[in-house]
Chains A and B, each alone.
Chain A
């Protein structure tokens, strides 16, 4: 069951992407590589959602999760449906299907100490659970507070955009397909969910917003996400905390890149210079001594 073919195919995808982009950016994926494969995105329309929770059942079933009754994400609940409008405005009750937003430039992948999180060219941000050591770095990096521990398995788990339903890759013993949309998408009784090329989804969402009004969440939030959500109003008015458009990093991580790294580079530079200076002095001295020795030898011979 544990055996999965992810790593092999994954490697192929990875190598292909290596050819297309600089190594430094390979873990996150880049615009160039995606243009060739096409990013797939999920569109969540909260103006249509009736809160039937079929998507939740489909998600639990496909991912073999226990059907927890919760409105907060956990290590065993990859998606929740929250009621986000105020009760007094009864006509405008809206439900928000909430899960990993699959950032285009995922902060979680950057801070992971074991490279367990990968951004697929198709858009999914996936935690390879075999590689996760459950350190929690991604929990703090995530601008949406999505990753959570599964304490039984001892790893961090989250929505993987059902990448194993359309890439044919296997994911930790789950079934795989090549033709399906994510489990939640097909299950929606009112077609509030859609899945397809990101550009198409944005076009569709804009058309819908022209009709009923609203706000498209996910185009710029946290640097752009591959889950797009049509909200009735601005995220702030819907009781959602709007994430910064720029990526946010935990102070400890910023400390590593902005304080620790420069300090170390300076220290290494100073000690490197010292060593280089001493080495140069040593070589100069030994050369001088050699020539002295030669002269001495000559003198001896002459003598």
Chain B
């Protein structure tokens, strides 16, 4: 494990995927901060009123914050669709991997991995529980679940957000009845997505076990031992392919 630099590296992420990941990161951060800065009702804003107050004092008015939010969202969606058209294979691969579900294996993984993460291997050994974890394909179950949430949330946020944008900025005479519901759904989905992102952020940026995964989001490569340990099924797939060649 210590000779990571010497070890053979396996290609895991395309440059396009890496760009999209960091593009999402920046856009979603801007969108989340400005989005929460648009909830001026203290009974609704779960972060407190300091954020909207701060943003209004920085940008002068809520309208500016709203426009930053809307145009960032629309810009994000545009880039996303350009990528979707020109890098269709990348998305097809992503969706195929994300949808490959094996209930028995996945359930065992969920239970054992969560216990391991929360209790630690030593305690599990003392309790006489297995520390063995089912081998995983390109994404493990946790990643897949978060991906499902991302896909569904992304679509709902896009639909409601685009509706609100078009209604307000282009049509100028929206049906307020639709608009407020779109806003309420947008708010709920974004909040739940934040809860998922919190775990994703911890796993990627703080957990030392997943440090190679964070590195691979810059270099696109992971070490052989990491691939073998974390994504055994994928590792074998890659091995078989290289053998054939």
**Chain A interface (Cβ < 8 Å from any Cβ of B):** 7, 23-24, 27, 110-116, 128, 130-137, 139-140, 149, 151, 154, 250, 252-253, 255-257, 259-261, 263-265, 267-268, 270-272, 274-275, 277-279, 281-282, 284-286, 288
Contacts and interface: CB of A to CB of B under 8 A. Distances in A.
A265 B191 CA distance: 8
Contact of B184 (A132, A252, A277): A252
Greatest chain B CB density within 10 A among A154, A252, A255 is at: A252
Contacts of A267: 191-192, 195
Interface string B170-207: 00111111011101100110011011101100100011
A132 to B, nearest CB: 7
B62 interface: yes
Given A137-B179, A263-B192, 8 more contacts: A27-B40, A111-B180, A130-B61, A252-B181, A264-B192, A264-B195, A267-B191, A282-B208
Given A134-B174, A151-B172, A281-B117, A114 B202 contact: no
B168 interface: yes
Contacts of A132: 63
Nearest to A154: B172
A112 B192 contact: no
A154 B107 CA distance: 53
Given A131-B63, A134-B172, A255 B184 contact: yes
Given A110-B40, A256-B184, A277-B118, A268 B176 contact: no
A113 B161 CA distance: 14
B195 A131 contact: no
Given A114-B65, A282-B208, A133 B187 contact: no
Contacts of B86: none
Contacts, number: 159
A281 B120 contact: yes
Interface residues on B, range: 35 or more
B49 A23 contact: yes
Contact of A136 (B120, B179, B196): B179
Contacts of B46: 261, 264-265, 268
A261 B45 CA distance: 8
B137 interface: no
A137 B176 contact: yes
A259 B44 CA distance: 10
Contacts of A149: 172-173
A263 B121 CA distance: 32
Given A139-B176, A282-B207, A271 B52 contact: no
B180 A271 contact: no
Nearest to A258: B43
Nearest to A140: B176
A115 B56 contact: yes
Pick from B56, B63, B66, B169 the residue with the most CB of A within 10 Å. B63
Which 10 residue pairs of A and B lie closest in terms of their CB atoms, listed nearest first? A136-B176, A264-B191, A114-B62, A267-B195, A252-B180, A260-B188, A115-B62, A271-B195, A257-B43, A275-B202
B206 A288 contact: no
A224 B136 CA distance: 63
Contact of A274 (B38, B122, B169, B199): B199
B179 A135 contact: yes
A110 B209 CA distance: 46
A165 B199 CA distance: 55
Interface string B114-146: 000111111000000000000000000000000
B245 interface: no
Contacts of B66: 113-114, 133
B42 A270 contact: no
12 contacts: A114-B62, A135-B176, A136-B175, A149-B173, A253-B180, A253-B184, A267-B195, A270-B195, A271-B195, A274-B118, A277-B117, A278-B202
